[in-house]
Amino acid sequence: MKNLCAIGEALIDFIPVEKGCRLKDVENFHRVVGGAPTNVAGAVAKLGGHAKILSQVGADAFGDHIVETLQKVGVDTSELHQSKDYDTSLAFVSLAANGERDFSFYRKTAADLHYKPSGLIQPMRT
């Protein structure tokens, strides 16, 4: 399998425990690491590939959870920075019974929107 270097959002998705209701009616959520680049990096690592994520999360409990989760599946997190100045992005998602989706994003102080690579990307170690 080839190497993958993903860059972009790393966030926490809150998925409803209750199915088929609008976001405003959800009472319980399940926390999941998300963000398309992050999900792709995790999938590649789980399939035996070499994956690296370039992004930034907050130096908070949600950021810690993202880093630890990605490391457990084998994603290289050496370029996943943790910021003390910005927060980890949060997204709340639901799917109503009629198939209509609701999203609510909390990104005004998002760390991933302020990510700046610290220098040239080093080759991945395989």
Instruction: Determine, yes or no, domain membership for 120.
Output: no
Confidence at residue 17, expressed as pLDDT on a 0 to 100 scale: 92
Instruction: Determine, yes or no, domain membership for 98.
Output: yes
pLDDT tens profile 99-119? 788 889 999 889 988 888 765
Is the entire prediction scored with pTM above 0.85? Answer: yes
Instruction: Determine, yes or no, domain membership for 37.
Output: yes
Instruction: Determine, yes or no, domain membership for 36.
Output: yes
Instruction: Determine, yes or no, domain membership for 46.
Output: yes
What six digits make up the tokens of 93?
A: 């998602």
- The owner of tokens 């080759």 is 123
User: Which residues are within 8 A (CB) of 21 and not within 5 positions of it... i.e. 6 or more apart?
Assistant: 94, 96, 97
Residue stretches of the chain with pLDDT short of 50: 120
Range of the domain at 74: 3-107
User: In terms of Cα–Cα distance, which of 64, 50, 52 is closest to 12?
Assistant: 64
Residue 32's H or E segment, with its range, is strand 29-34
Instruction: Determine, yes or no, domain membership for 122.
Output: no
